[in-house]
């Protein structure tokens, strides 16, 4: 313990009592197909005031572990092992007994703030209820406490808000109310299960702050469960990585992020697109998908995906041990760096590329296949050659406006207002280019994507494809053009017809366009192209994992040899290790087939990785646009700056020390946007820096996109470029 003094041992060392002690916890669900081992032998301890992050992909058992501790699992779940809360065993307690622990000793914060509050009671009532359950106090006092709690989690006007119903609050506000309820009885442990996953990034930053405040206020230990390595990097002291129901690596954040000793942790870090890195570096995805928990392999659960697998890995499951040559020897036993890998000693100083790139280059990658593909369509190949800086504009939108009417209820259905989803935007998508459209939910980016495809009709403005207006075409005239313009959806579960086989799904566009005969051969080629086994065509979508389904969606979009692919959040529903594979696939396809992408996303890290140009949208307007380089190195609009600084970096030191531009509040209602500059209600510049007269301009005059250099435009009256990363 000579170099880095660890956070958890510093100020709170006085009472380093272990508040949560989990030993050898196992959870098994019985299913029709046999026992499903969701959690296998998980052990960890948390001290008072300490924050532990549990990271894992979906299905790794991270939520089930905490549900087991809270006693919230259904009766069908078999739980064994031990979990002690302040030396009291909680596993095996009956409902009445555990209710005394729940809420008072351990509090839980769930993922979805929309459903974790009861819509028919006021938020005040719900906080008071939580207080009165565990304490003998008057209703009046409990109410005062509720107001105090709301204030602490950063809800403005708590006296007024306390009597509101959940639907009157935005998602971020509701999650803060949930945090307030968790704080209500000064718990010893707060378990937060993906507390910010359902929220926008700028709101996520606010909620994480509220969580931090809650932890400081109550002195509770925090167990933060998340799939987001960035969130973990900035907010916890120690990390535990879970895979297939086991802990595979634990240690301090610095140890796990900078010196991972388990191939899976290494792979996760390598598959993460990072905002603080240059574009061009390829991501290194982990092959395959997490194993089914039904028939787990005998040895190491990661063995089937591990690039350094040996015979011993297949027969013997590794246990969590400290690597022999660990760089640092923590005296504190909890902070010790442990990894469950037979060969963790060899991973000292390894980078993700060393391990995972090697496998990617093997023949099974899409490159080899894509070449055949190129030969197959030599005809269209000629025009793909000519792409250069002066390439042709394929798809353009000018002054595009879409207002959705809000109608009154009843028979007349009069128009009582309109949601201004898109209010006058200009876009140009050039050949062989990736243009990213970035913004938070509700900013109109998906509406824009659908307007460009004419799946919905615009209110005004025009859309052109190769200079030809699309907005005047009828549905039948539009049909032949749909071959060139295709769409890939966000949700790989909803976007494939569950009643059709994969073969039928991919063949459908060809059948529609009278090319059903080609389909027989082409479907197999396409499956091959996107990295799936062509023999799997007769299966149904539900038999595939999320990443595979997204590949099916891409194959369907490619069936007609389109020129433009509009990708609507194509990777945001996928786990990181899978996401990287899809991103690489999209990049490869673009190179091989000369596609142009319009990439709609809320995730700036992915955008930084894949896009050539970026347009940032806020409340139906583009606030800043430029090349990826320009936008990330010198963001000029305060909203872009806030977005960039709200994205958590998967790097503990950078994440804790970086400069932040924080916005307050939530996105205003698009039915009634603020006058002048639409961002002014949340703008840190408007609130902090500007004088009264300067503000007047923001209130009265809507800013227009202005070029302040080489093609880098922003819509702010007082824009000033800042360097953030």
Q: Residues in the site for other proteins, rule: CB under 8 A?
A: 32-33, 287-288, 303-305, 307-310, 314, 343, 346-347, 349-350, 354-355, 358-359, 362, 364, 450, 453, 455, 478-480, 482-483, 485-487, 489-491, 494-501, 508-509, 512-513, 533, 535-536, 538, 540, 542-543, 553, 556, 560
Contact 429, 440 (CB under 8 A): no
Contact 248, 265 (CB under 8 A): yes
Nearest distance in Å: CB 76, other proteins = 16
The residue (of 19 and 248) whose beta carbon lies closer to other proteins is 248
The residue (of 118 and 346) whose beta carbon lies closer to other proteins is 346
State both tokens at 305. Answer: 């995906």
Q: What angle do CA 304, 308, 311 make, to 5 degrees?
A: 70
Nearest distance in Å: CB 317, other proteins = 16
How many Å apart are CA 461 and CA 649, to the nearest integer? 39
The residue (of 156 and 480) whose beta carbon lies closer to other proteins is 480
Residues 265, 271, 275, 279, CA torsion sign: positive
Nearest distance in Å: CB 582, other proteins = 17
The residue (of 305 and 680) whose beta carbon lies closer to other proteins is 305
Helix axes 638-646, 201-218, angle to 10 degrees: 50
The residue (of 314 and 393) whose beta carbon lies closer to other proteins is 314
Nearest distance in Å: CB 361, other proteins = 10
Nearest distance in Å: CB 350, other proteins = 6
The residue (of 297 and 674) whose beta carbon lies closer to other proteins is 297
How many Å apart are CA 568 and CA 194, to the nearest integer? 23
The residue (of 135 and 483) whose beta carbon lies closer to other proteins is 483
Nearest distance in Å: CB 90, other proteins = 33
Which H or E run contains 469? Answer: strand 468-469
Nearest distance in Å: CB 512, other proteins = 5
Nearest distance in Å: CB 105, other proteins = 39
- CA 720 from chain centre, in angstroms, equals 29
Which H or E run contains 505? Answer: helix 502-512
Nearest distance in Å: CB 63, other proteins = 22
Contact 170, 666 (CB under 8 A): yes
Which H or E run contains 572? Answer: none
Contact 213, 152 (CB under 8 A): yes
Strands 713-714 and 706-707: antiparallel
How many Å apart are CA 560 and CA 437, to the nearest integer? 24
Contact 454, 470 (CB under 8 A): yes
Contact 111, 197 (CB under 8 A): yes
The residue (of 136 and 499) whose beta carbon lies closer to other proteins is 499
How many Å apart are CA 679 and CA 13, to the nearest integer? 44
Nearest distance in Å: CB 295, other proteins = 8
Nearest distance in Å: CB 102, other proteins = 33
The residue (of 139 and 362) whose beta carbon lies closer to other proteins is 362
Give 3-state DSSP helix, strand, coil % of the chain, rounded to 5.
Answer: 40, 20, 40
Nearest distance in Å: CB 540, other proteins = 4
The residue (of 246 and 482) whose beta carbon lies closer to other proteins is 482
Contact 566, 553 (CB under 8 A): no
Helix or strand or coil: residue 370? helix
In angstroms, what is the C-alpha Rg of the chain? 27
Which has the closest alpha carbon to 626: 652, 645, 606, 607?
607
Residues 6+ apart with CB under 8 A from 247: 42, 43, 44, 240, 241, 320, 340
Nearest distance in Å: CB 538, other proteins = 5
Q: For the beta carbon of residue 411, count every other beta carbon within 10 angstroms.
A: 6
How many Å apart are CA 473 and CA 207, to the nearest integer? 46
The residue (of 10 and 363) whose beta carbon lies closer to other proteins is 363
Which has the closest alpha carbon to 435: 631, 214, 199?
631
Helix or strand or coil: residue 656? helix
Write the DSSP symbol of residue 474. -
How many Å apart are CA 177 and CA 196, to the nearest integer? 13
The residue (of 34 and 333) whose beta carbon lies closer to other proteins is 34
Helix or strand or coil: residue 430? strand
Q: Which residues of 316-344 are buried (b: 16+ CB within 10 A; e: fewer)?
A: ebbebeebeebebebeeebbbbbbbbbbb
Contact 289, 60 (CB under 8 A): no
Nearest distance in Å: CB 631, other proteins = 29
The residue (of 367 and 694) whose beta carbon lies closer to other proteins is 367
Nearest distance in Å: CB 203, other proteins = 25
The residue (of 92 and 480) whose beta carbon lies closer to other proteins is 480
Nearest distance in Å: CB 691, other proteins = 48
The residue (of 213 and 473) whose beta carbon lies closer to other proteins is 473
How many Å apart are CA 609 and CA 281, to the nearest integer? 8
Q: For the beta carbon of residue 469, count every other beta carbon within 10 angstroms.
A: 11
The residue (of 409 and 499) whose beta carbon lies closer to other proteins is 499
């Amino acid at each position: 313990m000579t170099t880095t003094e660890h956070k958890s041992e510093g100020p709170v060392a006085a009472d380093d009592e272990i508040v949560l002690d989990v030993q050898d916890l196992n959870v098994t669900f019985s299913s029709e197909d046999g026992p499903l081992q969701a959690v296998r032998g998980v052990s960890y301890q948390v001290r008072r005031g300490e924050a532990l992050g549990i990271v894992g992909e979906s299905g790794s058992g991270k939520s089930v572990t905490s549900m087991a501790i809270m006693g919230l699992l259904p009766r069908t779940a078999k739980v064994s092992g031990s979990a002690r809360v302040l030396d009291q065993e909680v596993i095996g307690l009956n409902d009445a007994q555990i209710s005394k622990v729940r809420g008072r000793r351990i509090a839980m914060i769930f993922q979805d703030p929309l459903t974790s509050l009861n819509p028919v009671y006021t938020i005040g009532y719900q906080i008071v209820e939580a207080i009165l359950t565990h304490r003998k106090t008057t209703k009046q006092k409990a109410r005062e406490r509720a107001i105090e709690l709301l204030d602490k989690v950063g809800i403005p006007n708590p006296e007024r808000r306390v009597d509101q119903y959940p639907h009157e609050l935005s998602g971020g506000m509701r999650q803060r109310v949930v945090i307030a309820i968790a704080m209500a009885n000064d718990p010893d442990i707060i378990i937060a299960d993906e507390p910010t996953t359902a929220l926008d990034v700028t709101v996520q930053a606010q909620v994480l702050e509220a969580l931090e405040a809650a932890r400081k206020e109550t002195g509770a230990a925090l167990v933060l469960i998340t799939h987001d390595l960035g969130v973990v990097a900035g907010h916890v002291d120690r990390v535990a990585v879970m895979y297939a129901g086991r802990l595979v690596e634990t240690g301090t954040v610095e140890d796990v992020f900078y010196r991972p000793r388990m191939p899976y942790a290494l792979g996760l870090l390598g598959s993460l697109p990072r905002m603080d890195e240059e574009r061009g570096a390829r991501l290194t995805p982990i092959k395959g998908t997490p194993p089914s928990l039904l028939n787990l392999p005998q040895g190491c659960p990661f063995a089937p995906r591990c690039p350094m697998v040996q015979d011993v890995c297949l027969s013997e499951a590794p246990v969590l041990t400290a690597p022999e040559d660990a760089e640092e020897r923590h005296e504190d036993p909890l902070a010790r760096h442990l990894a469950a890998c037979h060969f963790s000693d060899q991973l000292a100083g390894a980078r993700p590329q060393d391990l995972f790139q090697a496998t990617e280059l093997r023949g099974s990658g899409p490159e080899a296949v894509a070449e055949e593909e190129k030969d197959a369509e030599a005809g269209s190949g000629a025009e793909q050659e000519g792409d250069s800086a002066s390439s042709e504009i394929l798809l353009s939108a000018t002054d595009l406006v879409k207002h959705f009417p809000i109608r009154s209820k009843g028979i007349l259905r009069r128009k009582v207002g309109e949601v201004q989803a898109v209010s006058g935007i200009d876009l140009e998508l050039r050949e062989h280019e990736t243009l990213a459209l970035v913004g938070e939910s509700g900013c109109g980016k998906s509406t824009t994507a659908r307007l460009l495809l004419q799946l919905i009709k615009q209110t005004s403005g025009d859309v052109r494809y190769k200079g030809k207006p699309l907005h005047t075409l009828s549905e039948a005239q539009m049909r032949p053009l749909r071959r060139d313009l295709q769409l890939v959806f966000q949700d790989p579960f909803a976007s494939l017809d569950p009643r059709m086989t994969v073969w039928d799904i991919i063949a459908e566009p060809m059948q529609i366009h009278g090319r059903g005969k080609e389909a027989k051969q082409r479907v197999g080629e396409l499956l091959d192209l996107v990295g799936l086994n062509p023999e799997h065509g007769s299966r149904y979508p539900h038999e595939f994992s999320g990443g595979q389904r997204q590949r099916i969606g891409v194959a369907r979009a490619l069936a007609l040899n389109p020129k433009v692919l509009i990708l609507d959040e194509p990777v945001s529903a996928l786990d990181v290790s899978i996401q990287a594979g899809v991103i690489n696939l999209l990049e490869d396809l673009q190179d091989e087939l000369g596609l142009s992408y319009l990439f709609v996303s809320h995730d700036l890290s992915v955008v930084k990785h894949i896009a050539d140009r970026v347009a940032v949208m806020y409340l139906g307007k583009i606030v800043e646009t430029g090349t990826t380089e320009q936008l990330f190195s010198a963001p000029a609009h305060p909203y872009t700056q806030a977005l960039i600084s709200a994205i958590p970096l998967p790097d503990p030191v950078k994440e804790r020390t970086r400069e932040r531009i924080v916005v307050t509040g939530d996105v205003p209602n698009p039915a009634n946007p603020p006058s002048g500059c639409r961002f002014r209600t949340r703008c840190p510049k408007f609130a902090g820096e500007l004088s009264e007269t300067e503000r007047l301009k923001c209130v009265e005059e809507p800013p227009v996109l202005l070029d302040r250099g080489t093609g880098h435009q922003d819509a702010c009256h007082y824009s000033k470029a800042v360097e953030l990363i």
